[in-house]
Structure formats: C-alpha cells, structure tokens
C-alpha cells in the first residue's frame, strides 16, 4: 500500500505541476500559437465540460472541492478501491485539483488546446486529458474484471 501511495503521489505532483506551469504560460506569458489543424489559444471555461453549468461559475469551485473531499473520505473508508485504482485516482486528483485551483486563481479553468481542422472541438487542457485518461483506465479495468468474473463463473458451473 505504501508503494502505491508513493507512486500515486509522484504521479499527482508531476501532472499537477506540469499542468499549472503550462496554464501559467498561457494565462500570463502569451503562449498562443495558431496552427492549420490545432491552435494553442488561451480561453477560460467558467463551467464544466463544454462550458455546461457556467451559470454556477462562482460556486463551482466549492461544489468541486466538496466532491473531492467526499471522494477522499470514500477512499479512506474503502482502501481496496485505492489499491486497485491508485494510478487513475492520482490522475483524476491531479487534473481535478489543478482545474479547481484555476477557478480560485483565474476565476475560470485555463484551456488552450483548440482543434479546428475539419470540425471545431471544445478547447481543453492537460488536466482534462488526464481526467479522461483516468476514466478510460477505470472503464477498461472494470470491463476486464467483469469478463474475468464471467469466465470464472462459467468455469465453475
């Protein structure tokens, strides 16, 4: 368990710091770059994914902090969940807390990846990518576990 916690902490720190450095560059140093397929362009998201719930902008940071707190309490009460999912949990916490820090620092989440070739896609950031990777890992592990349980059940019948 201690090894998993050390790995998770390292992943969290590295992802969080990289994301915050890049966001600082876009928010304060004018790192915008226009490209033919994708541009790096500063934008602030006052809502959540695809700017949903932007009408809650001033409250979202507190709602999200409460959700992180509730998730942390859940993990303390269910250490086996952390043991199984420590890598995606570290990615979720790093991405989520980095975006929450943006809400306190910049009053909105700093986004900058803007895909515009063939179709326009929502502007996003490294933290968003890490959150999506974490969710994909969790889904993959759940599907894999379900298949293994079905095989074991069929084998025993």
CB 135 within 8 A of CB 88: yes
Active site residue 128: yes
Q: Is the pTM of this model over 0.85?
A: yes
Contact 19, 94 (CB under 8 A): yes
> Of residues 19, 32, 80, 111, which has the active-site annotation?
111
Is 80 part of the annotated catalytic residue set? no
**Does 106 score more than 80 pLDDT?**
yes
**List 32, 80, 102, 128, catalytic entry:** 128
Write the DSSP assignment of 75-115 as a string of letters.
HHH-HHHHHHHHHHHHHHHHHHHHHHHHHHHHSSEEEEEEE
- pLDDT higher than threshold 90 for residue 9: yes
């Amino acid at each position: 368990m201690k090894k998993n916690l050390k790995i998770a902490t390292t992943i969290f720190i590295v992802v969080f710091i990289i994301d915050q450095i890049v966001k600082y560059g876009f928010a304060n140093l004018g790192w915008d770059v226009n490209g033919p397929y994708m541009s790096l362009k500063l934008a602030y998201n006052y809502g959540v994914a695809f700017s949903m719930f932007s009408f809650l902008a001033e409250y979202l940071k507190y709602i999200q902090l409460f959700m992180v707190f509730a998730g942390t309490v859940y993990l303390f009460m269910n250490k086996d969940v952390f043991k199984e999912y420590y890598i995606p949990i570290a990615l979720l916490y790093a991405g989520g807390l980095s975006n929450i820090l943006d809400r306190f620092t910049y009053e909105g989440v700093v986004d900058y990846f803007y895909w515009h070739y063939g179709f326009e896609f929502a502007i996003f950031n490294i933290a968003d990518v890490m959150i999506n990777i974490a969710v994909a890992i969790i889904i993959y592990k759940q599907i894999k576990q379900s298949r293994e349980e079905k095989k074991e059940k069929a084998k025993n019948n």
